[in-house]
Copies of this chain bind each other. A is one copy, B any other.
Amino acid sequence: MTEFEQLFKGLNIVEEKLQEHILKEGVLQTVPKDTFIVEQDKYIKWLAIVISGKVRVWQENEDRQILLYYVNPIQTCVLSLSATFRDCKSLVHAKTEIETTLIKIPVRFVSEWSFMFKSWNTFTTNSFIISYEDLLLSYKDLAFKKINERLIDYLRSEANRNNSSIIEISHQQLAKEVGTTREVVSKILKQYELDHIVQLHFKKIELLS
């Protein structure tokens, strides 16, 4: 199955006309690990849909970062989606975590198709809804949860995503994910280890419960 066929299947795109459009205008691209897909404050020219691989989306300050979400196969970064509906700069960074295959659609077609084709409309609308709810939950967590809770939440969701109780990440990177400093992460993890909730290894964290 070609990448385009995967896209059609994944997004339930049955309209032949739309398939033709996508084949004509879409660009298939495989990019290596650690490639920027969009950068904060830069203009967006393409809507990128991830076919395989993994893209990390985050915001940053001068000295801190905070994870927004990961884009998994057959998803798109909503920020670049919203940018396609009105010419604007990206509010986020997005970078590949592993080698990633994308299909890129020039922005001007994205909103056009959304009114012409039911399946495309569903895709864009669903992307918005799901991402909005996601962000809302993150917002609530950020507002009401303490860092140690957000940290263990992060570890649990990583474990889930990778289907493994071992998360391979350094304390420094972890600090960036949840928006704090390395020392705070080390301290919290050590406490969780004393409580037999995690087991610490070099650049690895094992979830015990």
Q: Is the CB of A136 within 8 A of B135?
A: yes
CB <8 Å contact, A86 and B143: no
Contacts A114-B121, A121-B115: A132 and B129 contacting too (C-beta < 8 A)?
no
| In the complex, chain B residues whose CB is within 8 Å of the CB of A118 | 115
Check if A152 is an interface residue, CB within 8 A of chain B. Answer: no
State in angstroms the CA–CA spacing of A82 and B66 once bound together.
25
- Count residues on chain A whose CB falls below 8 Å from chain B CBs: 35
Whether a CB of chain B sits under 8 angstroms from the CB of A184 is: no
* Shortest distance between the CB of A198 and any CB in chain B (Å): 24
Q: Find out whether the CB atom of B61 lies under 8 angstroms from the CB atom of A132.
A: no
A91 interface neighbour in B59, B111, B128, B136, Cβ under 8 Å: B136
How long is the Cα–Cα vector from A124 to B115 in the complex, in angstroms? 12
Work out how many copies of this chain go into the complex.
Answer: 2
Contact A139 to B85, CB < 8 A, known contacts A114-B125, A125-B111: no
Chain B residues lying within 8 Å of A86, measured Cβ to Cβ, are 129
- Between A86, A124, A136, the greatest number of chain B beta carbons within 10 A of the residue's beta carbon is seen for A136
Residues of B within 8 A of A131 (CB): 132
Query: CA of A149 to CA of B85 in the docked complex: distance in angstroms?
Result: 32
Asked whether A64 is an interface residue with its Cβ less than 8 Å from the other chain, the reply is: yes
User: Is B137 a contact partner of A135 (Cβ separation < 8 A)?
Assistant: no
Query: Are A82 and B128 interface neighbours, CB within 8 A?
Result: yes
Determine the residue in chain B with the shortest Cβ distance to A179.
Answer: B143
Q: Residues of A with Cβ closer than 8 Å to B?
A: 59, 61, 64, 66, 68, 78-79, 82, 85-86, 91-92, 111, 114-115, 118, 121, 124-126, 128-129, 131-133, 135-140, 142-144, 179
